[in-house]
Structure 1
Amino acid sequence: MAKTKTTYTGKDVMDFVNSFVDTEQKKKDSFRLIELMQEWSDAEPRMWGPSIIGFGNYHYKYASGHQGDAPVLGFSPRKAALTLYVYSDTERSKHALADLGKFKMSKACIYVKKLSDINITALKELCIESIKYISEHHECSCRVK
């Protein structure tokens, strides 16, 4: 079985943002996301893998037997876009997406160019719904607010 790359690393989050993020706008947005996700999750930011800033943690196990740990909420300030790991496939999340603003999405990731493109209230709703979903379906450090 392949080893999971997204594991807690112990690296410093602020050092990562200051050395990795390539534009001032993305740095500003990254620091704002850290503040918001820390408030919403009630968890300290931690580095997961080489480039994901995560908040809280949970243990997952798939029917295939693959299992591991992951952050409850997270994001990565990638070159092309801010990648948000905040989505759970629930009806409430689908409604929040409709109000989110300008973004692209893959199966579980939301991509935004800059925070000013999205509705922060809708992002908060997505994050809170994700925390709720994870707390109901996995062993986790999260608390539903």
Structure 2
Amino acid sequence: MANKTQKTEQPVQDYIDAIEPAARRADIAAINEMMRDVTGWSPKMWGPSIVGFGDYHYKYESGREGDFFRIGYSSRAKNISIYIMPGYQDFDDELSRLGKHSKGKSCLYIKRLSDVDSDVLREMLVKGLALMEEKYPL
């Protein structure tokens, strides 16, 4: 069984341009540029509302396999979700320095970019990519 969220041909800029309000759109554009700078990759849409950078193929012992992005983001109704695919279990130090946020296993939720330290966020993206490289080499 493959992942339901698949890479699409939808232009990322169209997604960003449609985000309201303007302050959220500016935050998303800044996160997009930060991820582009950190990865060196062009963003791709995954499903209708997730922007991902890079990709990898996974196969679990259960037999489930598929393709997914290495890091990404999405503008949700209540917050901005930032995805680091190895999850945030090894990020206690960075999370303690980040600023106002909440998190799930692989999702970091922020209301606005000004609520967090952008340097720490960048550090987390770099670390997340390194962890992915260990588990799923390019």
Q: TM bucket by the smaller chain? A: over 0.9
Q: Verify: 1:67 aligned to 2:65, yes or no.
A: yes
Percent of paired sites with the same residue: 34
* 1:49 is the counterpart of 2:25: no
Cα distance between partner residues in 1 of 2:58 and 2:88: 16
Matched residue, 2:79: 81
Aligned to 2:7: 8
Give the structure 1 partner of residue 38 of structure 2. Answer: 40
CA contact (8 A) 1:81 1:113 kept: yes
SS in 2 for 1:75: strand
| Structure 1 letter corresponding to 2:12 | V
- 1:30 partnered with 2:25: no
Local SS of the residue matching 1:6: coil
Query: Offset at 1:16?
Result: 1.1
- On the 8 A contact 1:88/1:133 being kept in 2, the answer is no
Q: Which runs of 5+ in 1 are unaligned?
A: 141-145
Q: Give TM-score, length-normalised by structure 2.
A: 0.92
Structure 1 residue 94, shift from structure 2 partner: 2.0
Contact kept, 8 Å, 1:55 with 1:73, in 2: the verdict is yes
Judged with a 3 Å threshold, the aligned counterparts in structure 2 of structure 1 residues 31 and 75 are, in CA distance, closer, same or farther, namely same
For 1:134, the aligned partner's letter is M
The whole-number CA distance in structure 1 between the counterparts of 2:87 and 2:39 is 15
**Residue aligned with 2:20, SS:** coil
Contact 2:43 2:52 (C-alpha < 8 Å) held by counterparts: yes
| Root-mean-square deviation (Å) | 1.4
Report the Cα offset of residue 121 of structure 1.
Answer: 1.1
Moved over 4 A (4+): none
TM-score normalised per structure 1: 0.88
Superposed displacement of residue 88, structure 1: 3.4
